[in-house]
Amino acid sequence: MKNDKAASNTKLGILVIAGSLFLIFSLYMIGRNQNIFGTSIPILAQIDHVNGLVQGNNVRFQGMEVGTVKSIEMENDSTIIMTMLIRKSMQSFIKKNALITINTDGLMGNKIVQIHPQTGEASTIEEGDILYPLDQVGTEEMIEKLSSTGEYLEQTLINLAEITERLNKSEAIWKILADPELALDLKGAVKELHIAGQNASAMAKAGKELVKTLEEGDGIVNSLFTDSLMDRNLEQSLENLNQTSANAAQLMDRMNTLLESVEKGQGTAGLILADTAFREQLVRTMENVEQSTYNLNQNMEAMKSNFLFRGYFKDQEKAQKKAEKEGNKN
């Protein structure tokens, strides 16, 4: 009897010890996951929506669990402050410019906080630092977009079904498709299009050869493109031509002004052309001058025959002949 009681007490003691060890191990594992026994630092995060996140959810960095969510508090109507406990051993890897997102662990798992590192220089996080969320499309928004896309796709399929039904009921379309002449016309059009493409290719090739000939040839066209001296001469010729055109235009303006003055009777020429009385008087004056010149010549001839002036004129003739001889010698 005593042996049975001792055996029962031994079994009971073993069960109690085993249960105690299991309880201690469970508490240790829970505390380890919740950073109860490890050294950690509190880091804050400012978010506008928790998306189902609760206290105790894990915090991950580069896929590794680095802490847990300690608390979630509402600061105002649009801002939520979340406190995270981050293991101190991971402090040196997380920078102050890191951003966070609230994701789902797997497809239907618990919510987790994901810390995303960013490029650029930044110091490591310290106790009390605040991290900010990364803009992203949430699961609910994604589901809404998928739903709207599905509705649009459904409507598109309905429209395609209606179009297919109308095509099946349309006899004209099937007659056109079954018309052999239409097939021949299409075949001819494709053939002509192919020929047009070949002609275009040949024209492009000929144009390329022409450009090459112009670039490598020695003609005037090549000189116009490559000879800088000819280019300058051509520019100078164009400038001279422009100057000549300007001078001609200026001369024409002056001629028009002169003609207008003559037509109006201005100046001597205008007076002669416009005043008939003055013109007749001028004609008579010229006739008188001509008659006087004739009479003067007659008097000179008479003076040459006069014995008083005959010696003078002979001396003049001798002097003139002598001057002509000396001029011929020189």
Q: Using one digit for the tens of pLDDT, what is the confidence trace for 236-274?
A: 777 877 787 777 778 777 777 766 765 665 555 555 555
Contact by Cβ (8 Å): 166, 158: no
- Give me the residues paired with residue 87 across strands: 40
Q: Find, among 93, 97, 89, 87, the residue nearest to 129 by Cα.
A: 97
Distance CA 36, CA 21 (A): 19
Please write the tens of the pLDDT for every residue from 169-224. 777 766 766 777 777 778 888 888 888 888 888 888 888 887 777 666 555 555 55
Of 132, 63, 67, give the one whose Cα is nearest residue 95.
132
- List the structure tokens of 168: 């099946």
Mean pLDDT computed over 108-121: 89
What pTM, to 2 d.p., does this model score?
Answer: 0.38
Kindly state the DSSP code that residue 105 receives in the 8-state scheme.
Answer: S
- Over 80: is that where the pLDDT of 124 sits? yes
- Most confident among 136-150, 207-221, 226-240 (mean pLDDT): 136-150
Which pLDDT score, from 0 to 100, does residue 184 have? 79
Highest mean pLDDT among 43-57, 184-198, 261-275, 304-318: 43-57
Q: Rounded distance, CA 173 to CA 47, Å? A: 61
Q: At what angle do helices 228-263 and 267-274 cross, to 10 degrees?
A: 50
| pLDDT at residue 81 is higher than 90 | yes
Helix axes 180-216, 171-178, angle to 10 degrees: 60
Q: Is 151 helix (H, G, I), strand (E, B) or coil?
A: helix
Contact (Cβ atoms closer than 8 angstroms) between residue 135 and residue 48: no
- Whether 115 shows a pLDDT value over 90: the answer reads yes
Cα gap 301→295, rounded to integer Å: 10
Among 3-7, 16-20, 120-124, 244-248, name the most confident range.
Answer: 120-124
